[in-house]
C-alpha cells in the first residue's frame, strides 16, 4: 500500500502525543482484529444501498493481507438492542464486502464462543473473517470487560478503524484495546479522520472558515464555543439563523426560532467579536408561506420576514457574501446545510455553498465536511470528490469538534 506517511498527533491534548498507526506494524503471520464500521443502509431485499463505509475500510484490510496476515472484522449493524435479529445479521453484507475488498469473505454466525474460536484458529494468511453483529450482545454497548476479553482472543493486534463509533465506550471500540497494551493502532481511515480534524482545529492554514447550519443553536453551541478560538470566520445558516436574527431585533415571521436561546445567541456574537472572529449571517432569505416544496415563495430581507412566512433557504445576496468569504479561505469546515435541502425548492443555497467550497478546494484550500445532514447533502449533490475530506462519523465528528477526546481514540493512545 502506498499511503501517505505523516506523523500523527492527537490535537485535543494539551501537548501533542504521537499516535501508532497501521504503518507502524508488519502483519506477516499475524491475525489483526479490526473494528470496522459496517453499519450500512440496507433495502427491503437486504442489498447495501451505500457502500462508502465498506470502501473506506478497504485500505486497512488490504494492508494486513498484503503484509501476509489475516483479518478478523467486527462491526455492528443497526440497533438490535442486545438481541439476535436476523434482519440485522452481517451475513447480508458478506457478498458486497467480498466484492469491494476483492477477497471472498468468510462469515461466522457469532462474535464470541467456541464456534468463533474455531473459525479464527482455522483462518489462514490472506483470509478475512467477518464476525456476527456485535450488538446482538447487550455486553457490547455496556462495555463489559468479559465480553471485550473474549473478543480480544480473536487477534494478535487490535486495529480501530471505525471513526463512526469512536465516541462510544463500547467493548469493541474501547475496552478491548486494554488487552493489547503494546499491539494496538489506528487504521488508515481513523488516522485520516483525526488528521482532517486536526487540520481544521490546530494546523490549518489561515484564514479558517467554519460554516455551521442546521435547525437549532442549542445543538451547535458547544461546537461554536470550542471553535471560536480557532477560526477567523463563522458563517451561520439554516434554521438557527432566525434565533440570531430575532435576538438582534429582526422580524422572523413563522421561521423556526429558539426564543429561550436568544440571549445565548447574543453572547456568542459578543464572544466572537472579542476574539476577532467575523460572524456572517444571511442578509436575505427565500421565504415560504408553508413548509412545503410547492409553497409560495419570495425573497425577503432576513430582518423583515412577514407573519405567516418562514425562511427556508439563504437568499442570493447572502450566497454571494458567503461565496466571497469561502473563496478567501484556506481552511474550511462545513457542518450543516443552509436550507431545507431535502426539498428541491429550498436546496439552491446548500448547492451554492458546495459549489463555492469546490472552487476554493480547487484553488488549494483544505475543506472538511462533517455531520449527518451536510454529509447527506454532499452525497446527494455529488460533492464527495470535490472537497478534501468527507467524514464518515456523525456523532463522533461533532464530539471531536466540541473538543472532546473520544474514548475509542483515547484507548489506542493509552
Contact 62, 1 (CB under 8 A): yes
339 marked as part of a ligand binding site = no
* 322 assigned ligand-binding residue: no
Q: Positive or negative CA dihedral for 103, 109, 111, 116?
A: negative
Q: Is 342 annotated as a binding residue?
A: yes
Indicate which residue of 20, 58, 142, 216 is catalytic: 216
53 in a known ligand binding site: yes
Active site (annotated) includes residue 395:
yes
Q: Which of 82, 109, 126, 395 is catalytic?
A: 395
Find out whether 147 is annotated in a ligand binding site.
no
Could you tell me which of 205, 210, 202, 198 has the C-alpha nearest to residue 326? 210
Out of 82, 126, 372, 403, the active site residue is 372
Pairing of strands 284-288, 310-314: antiparallel
Q: Tell whether 183 is in a known binding site.
A: no
The annotation status of 13 as a binding-site residue, yes or no, is no
Tell whether residue 5 is among the known ligand binding residues.
Answer: no
Is 372 an active-site residue? yes
Q: Is 214 annotated as a binding residue?
A: no
Catalytic residue among 35, 53, 192, 195: 53
Identify whether the C-beta of residue 162 lies closer than 8 Å to the C-beta of residue 173.
Answer: yes
Q: Give the Å distances, CA to CA, from 133 to 54, 91, 170, 377.
A: 15, 9, 13, 29
45 is in an annotated binding site: no
- Does 374 count as an annotated binding residue? yes
User: Hey, what's the cell of 18?
Assistant: 504521537
Q: Can 195 be counted among the known catalytic residues?
A: no
User: Active site includes 109?
Assistant: no
State yes or no: 113 annotated in a binding site. Answer: no
Residue list, annotated binding site for substrate: 37-39, 53, 76-79, 135, 168
Residue list, annotated binding site for (2R)-3-phosphoglycerate: 53, 135, 168
Residue list, annotated binding site for ATP: 220, 311, 342, 371-374
Residues involved in catalysis: 53, 216, 372, 395
Residue list, annotated binding site: 37-39, 53, 76-79, 135, 168, 220, 311, 342, 371-374
Amino acid at each position: 500500500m502506498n499511503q501517505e506517511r505523516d506523523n500523527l498527533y492527537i490535537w485535543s491534548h494539551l501537548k501533542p502525543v504521537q499516535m501508532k498507526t497501521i504503518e507502524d506494524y508488519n502483519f506477516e503471520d499475524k491475525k489483526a482484529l479490526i473494528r470496522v464500521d459496517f453499519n450500512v443502509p440496507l433495502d427491503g431485499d437486504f442489498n447495501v444501498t451505500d457502500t462508502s463505509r465498506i470502501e473506506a475500510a478497504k485500505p486497512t484490510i488490504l494492508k494486513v493481507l498484503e503484509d501476509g496476515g489475516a483479518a478478523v472484522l467486527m462491526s455492528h449493524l443497526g440497533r438490535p438492542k442486545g438481541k439476535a435479529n436476523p434482519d440485522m445479521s452481517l451475513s447480508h453484507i458478506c457478498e458486497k464486502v467480498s466484492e469491494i475488498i476483492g477477497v471472498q469473505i468468510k462469515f461466522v454466525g457469532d462474535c464470541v464462543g467456541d464456534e468463533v474460536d474455531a473459525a479464527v484458529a482455522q483462518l489462514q494468511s490472506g483470509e478475512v473473517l467477518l464476525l456476527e453483529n456485535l450488538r446482538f450482545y447487550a455486553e457490547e454497548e455496556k462495555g463489559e470487560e468479559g465480553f471485550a476479553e473474549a473478543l480480544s482472543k480473536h487477534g494478535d493486534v487490535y486495529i480501530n478503524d471505525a471513526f463512526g463509533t469512536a465516541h462510544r465506550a463500547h467493548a469493541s471500540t474501547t475496552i478491548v484495546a486494554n488487552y493489547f497494551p503494546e499491539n494496538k493502532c489506528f487504521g488508515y481511515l481513523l488516522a485520516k479522520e483525526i488528521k482532517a480534524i486536526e487540520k481544521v482545529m490546530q494546523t490549518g492554514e489561515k484564514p479558517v472558515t467554519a460554516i455551521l447550519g442546521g435547525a437549532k443553536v442549542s445543538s451547535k453551541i458547544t461546537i461554536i464555543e470550542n471553535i471560536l478560538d480557532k477560526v477567523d470566520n463563522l458563517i451561520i445558516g439554516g434554521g438557527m439563523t432566525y434565533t440570531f436574527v430575532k435576538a438582534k431585533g429582526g422580524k422572523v415571521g413563522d421561521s423556526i426560532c429558539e426564543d429561550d436561546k436568544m440571549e445565548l445567541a447574543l453572547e456568542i456574537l459578543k464572544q466572537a467579536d472579542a476574539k476577532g472572529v467575523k460572524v456572517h449571517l444571511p442578509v436575505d432569505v427565500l421565504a415560504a408561506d408553508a413548509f412545503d416544496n410547492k409553497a409560495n415563495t419570495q425573497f425577503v430581507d432576513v430582518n423583515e420576514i412577514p407573519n405567516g412566512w418562514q425562511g427556508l433557504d439563504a437568499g442570493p445576496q447572502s450566497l454571494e457574501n458567503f461565496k466571497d468569504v469561502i473563496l478567501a479561505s484556506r481552511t474550511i469546515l462545513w457542518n450543516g446545510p443552509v436550507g431545507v435541502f431535502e426539498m428541491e425548492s429550498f436546496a439552491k443555497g446548500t448547492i451554492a455553498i458546495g459549489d463555492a467550497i469546490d472552487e476554493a478546494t480547487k484553488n488549494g484550500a483544505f475543506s472538511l465536511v462533517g455531520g449527518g445532514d451536510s454529509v447527506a447533502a454532499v452525497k446527494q449533490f455529488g460533492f464527495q470528490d470535490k472537497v478534501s475530506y468527507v467524514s464518515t462519523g456523525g456523532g463522533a465528528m461533532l464530539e471531536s469538534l466540541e473538543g472532546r477526546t473520544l474514548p475509542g481514540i483515547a484507548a489506542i493512545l493509552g
